[in-house]
Structure 1
């Protein structure tokens, strides 16, 4: 079976996050950009992948069209054993264009699509191709966008609990919203704080000390730059709180540097950034070897989210799947990935990633 084509589809689905906001520079963002990767074969089977592209969708799509498609088109579709070798060859061929960022986002999309295809060929869900499923439903945490005002943070936390979420993550960089959230949700609900790399080491240590009484499960990426693993390890050692990081790390090798430095208690591979399922599995094996917990990064709604559910189902470790707390105008998966009243999401049982994207939704929200 040969790969006949690799195509990128840019889908933009508007959302309403209420009092929260997400900005890149001075521009507010009110839509989720998804870059779907479609791998077609001469046997009529199709695999679907997902490449990170929230604020760079056209760049990511161009990378797929110009770099990824020529590398894969016309080659034999690899099976599960052959995918790592196939992807290593592509990584080697493209290393001149960068081992991180856009190039690796595009590589991630192809890798996920190939795993989807490999499982579809077998007529099995992806998790069964890799190992034994241990969870049929994954608990979700509400990943709130940045709000800033403590009273509004408390209001949104309470609303998320009413919708069934069993845990909350903030995107805040000041102390009052953290304590407002803890007061709103009570002592027994897990609370996490994602900071998006704003501080130097001294400031991050002070922030951690100030937050201790609110008992966050972890602080996520408190340090700039994110690859300064030495400073991150210092904050973890002196700040008195567990740290998480990894959404900005690409490839197993950067995770190895981070974990070897003792920088984190929780590793956060993002399947649509790190290099796909192949690299994600390497990170998981390394984390297990070094005794580091997992907290996968997954605030997306394309095939990468399905892949994350499939991968998380292989572990009975109590981890939560991350879900952006927002109301979307549409869903590529016909509502199958919505959080239910128990605060969980069902792991798909269909072939491959489990579902086919809704073609009508794709066309309605396609960006030319």
Structure 2
């Protein structure tokens, strides 16, 4: 079976996050940009991948068209055992253009699509191709966007609990918002705080001390720059709260540097950034070897989210899947990835990633 084409699909689905906001500089972002990677074959079987692209969809799509497609078009479709070597070759061929960021986002999209293809050829869901499923449903946490106002934070937390979520993550950088959330959700609900890399060691350590009474499960990416693992380790050591990081890390090599520095309690591989399923599995193996827990990054709604559910089903470790807390105008998978009344999402059981994307939604929200 030969790969006949690799195509990027840029779709943009509007959303409403209420009082919350997602900003890039001075601009508010009000739509979810997704770049899907479609790998076609001469046998008529298609695989779907997902390349990270929140604020860089045209750049990511161009990387797929100019760098990724020529690496794969016309070659034999690798099976599950052959994908790691195939992707290693792609990484080596493209290393000049960046080992992190957009190049790796595009590589991730191809890798996910190849794993989808391999499982589809075998007629099994991705998790069964890799190993034995241990969970049919994954608990979800509500990943709130930045709000800023403690009263509004409390209100959104209460709304999330009413919708069935059993854990909350904030994207806040002030102590009052953290305590407002804790008061709103009570002592039993897990609370996580993502700071998005704003602080130096002194500021981050002080923030950790100030928040300890609110009992966050972890502080996520508190320091700038995110690759300063020595400082991250210092905050973890002196702050008294577990540290999570890794959504900005690409390939197992950077995760190894992070863990060697003893910088994290929770590793956060993002399947659409890290290098796809192949690198994600390497990070999982490394985390197990080093005694580091997992908290995958997954606030997206394309094939990468399905891949994350498939991968998380292989572990009975009580991890939550991350879901952006917002109302979308549409969903590629219908209502099948919605959080149920028990705060969980069903792991897809169909071949490959489990579901076929809704072609009508792709066409309706396509950005040409």
TM-score interval, smaller chain: over 0.9
Q: 1:328 maps to which residue?
A: 328
Q: 1:283 maps to which residue?
A: 283
Q: Is 1:43 aligned to 2:43, yes or no?
A: yes
SS of the residue corresponding to residue 205 of structure 1 reads: helix
- 1:28-39 equivalent positions in 2, closer than 5 A: 28-39=28-39
Q: 1:208 maps to which residue?
A: 208
Distance 1:242 1:319 in 2: 15
Q: 2:296 maps to which residue?
A: 296
When normalised by structure 1's length, the TM-score is: 1.00
Root-mean-square deviation (CA), in Å? 0.2
Q: 2:270 maps to which residue?
A: 270
- 1:118-197 equivalent positions in 2, closer than 5 A: 118-197=118-197
Unmatched tracts of structure 1, length 5 or more: none
Distance 1:140 1:260 in 2: 29
How far did residue 356 of structure 1 move?
A: 0.5
For each residue in 1:270-298, what CA deviation from the matched residue of structure 2 results, as whole angstroms up to 9, or x when unmatched?
00000000000000000000000000000
Unmatched tracts of structure 2, length 5 or more: none
Q: 1:339 maps to which residue?
A: 339
How far did residue 69 of structure 1 move?
A: 0.1
- 1:104-123 equivalent positions in 2, closer than 5 A: 104-123=104-123
- 1:309-320 equivalent positions in 2, closer than 5 A: 309-320=309-320
Which 4+ stretches in 1 moved above 4 angstroms? none
How far did residue 37 of structure 1 move?
A: 0.1
SS of the residue corresponding to residue 318 of structure 1 reads: coil
Name the count of aligned residue pairs. 368
Distance 2:324 2:252 in 1: 25
Distance 1:67 1:110 in 2: 11
Distance 1:282 1:251 in 2: 8
Q: 1:352 maps to which residue?
A: 352
Distance 2:39 2:191 in 1: 39
Distance 1:179 1:102 in 2: 36
Q: 1:219 maps to which residue?
A: 219
How far did residue 335 of structure 1 move?
A: 1.1
Distance 2:175 2:12 in 1: 34
Distance 1:136 1:90 in 2: 33
Distance 1:21 1:71 in 2: 38
Q: 2:13 maps to which residue?
A: 13
Distance 2:335 2:272 in 1: 21
For each residue in 1:133-156, what CA deviation from the matched residue of structure 2 results, as whole angstroms up to 9, or x when unmatched?
000000000000000000000000
Distance 2:211 2:309 in 1: 31
For each residue in 1:234-284, what CA deviation from the matched residue of structure 2 results, as whole angstroms up to 9, or x when unmatched?
000000000000000000000000011000000000000000000000000
When normalised by structure 2's length, the TM-score is: 1.00
SS of the residue corresponding to residue 80 of structure 2 reads: coil
How far did residue 299 of structure 1 move?
A: 0.2
